[in-house]
Structure 1
Amino acid sequence: MYSVDPGVINISIRELVALIGVLDHAYTQIAELSEFDDEVMAQSSGVALIPLLYARAGLALTEGADGIPLLAAEVGLLEAAVINLESYEGNEVVLVAGYELLDAFANRPKSPRALRRVHGILTFDGGAGTRSVGQSLLPSD
């Protein structure tokens, strides 16, 4: 089991995209190979978190923030999705991506930044981050 410091960690847009891919694939696999209802599948796969993640990413982009908050409890949803992918014959590439995210998140220190809600969307407090509004969240290669 992976252990993430209680609280919140700061994730990048690339990590967010990978996280959404893992959660979505877990949902697809559970839906194809089980007879659970939609609500049970959404909770067990973590797919219910996806709209919140998109909202956080959008707010981070508009505020010029330098990261996106992910709660420790939400990392637990990723862990559950990875376990479900193992059980429900998930794509190996997606499964590896899930394990890589779990490793990265488990080794990441808790963010010291306070959280706030803007229009109900969780974000880091302190207004704009270290990047300008027009600067990409993606690292330049």
Structure 2
Amino acid sequence: MAVVDHAYAQLMSLSDADQDVIANASGTVLLPELYARSGWAALRDADVIPLLVDEIGQLEAAVLNLESYGGHEVALVAGYGLLESFGGRDRNVHPLHRVHGVLAFTGGTADEAATGSATPAPA
């Protein structure tokens, strides 16, 4: 992921923070997971690599830090493009729970989870 690599390089050259802070601020802590997922995607001839909703915050931090540390325009445009494509996904995520032993999406309310009235997730 070029955005994360560029953010890491910029932060390393311009910041006096320790390695752990720079790894978190640049998003490089995501790289091992993303490399593993890219290998999985390549084996399955997939065109995309999944990014979990809670990982989007790390990408956002990398882009914002790139902006603060004078990141290259191409990396910034790519980063903001990625963030825009992920923009609606966190609003479309609902927790899972079990209904008669089957995982189902909660419709977003605690009452549905308690009563078990959610429809099982399609396969």
| TM-score strictly above 0.5 | yes
Name the count of aligned residue pairs. 95
Distance change (3 Å), C-alpha of 1:92 and 1:64: closer
Give the distance between the partners of 1:94 and 1:58, measured in 2 at CA. Answer: 23
Give the distance between the partners of 2:93 and 2:46, measured in 1 at CA. Answer: 14
Cross-structure match for 2:32 = 51
Q: C-alpha displacement at 1:46, in angstroms?
A: 0.5
Cross-structure match for 1:68 = 49
Amino acid at match of 2:3: V
Q: C-alpha displacement at 1:79, in angstroms?
A: 0.5
Cross-structure match for 2:104 = none
Q: C-alpha displacement at 1:44, in angstroms?
A: 1.1
2:75 to 82, 94, 101: 94
Give the distance between the partners of 2:42 and 2:54, measured in 1 at CA. Answer: 23
TM-score normalised to the size of structure 1?
Answer: 0.59
Q: C-alpha displacement at 1:94, in angstroms?
A: 0.6
The higher-RCO structure (CA 8 Å, 6+ apart) is: 1
Give the distance between the partners of 2:17 and 2:45, measured in 1 at CA. Answer: 40
**Higher alpha-carbon Rg:** 2
Structure with higher helix content: 2
Question: Cα RMSD (Å) of the superposition?
Answer: 2.4
Q: Is the 8 A contact 2:38 2:49 kept in 1?
A: yes
Gaps of 5+ in 2: 97-122
Matches within 5 A, 1:95-110: 95-108=76-89, 110=92
What's the secondary structure of 2:51's corresponding residue?
Answer: strand
TM-score normalised to the size of structure 2?
Answer: 0.67
What's the secondary structure of 2:22's corresponding residue?
Answer: helix
Segments of 4+ moved more than 6 angstroms:
none
Q: Is the 8 A contact 2:53 2:89 kept in 1?
A: no
Indicate yes or no: 2:22 matched with 1:41: yes
Q: C-alpha displacement at 1:68, in angstroms?
A: 2.8
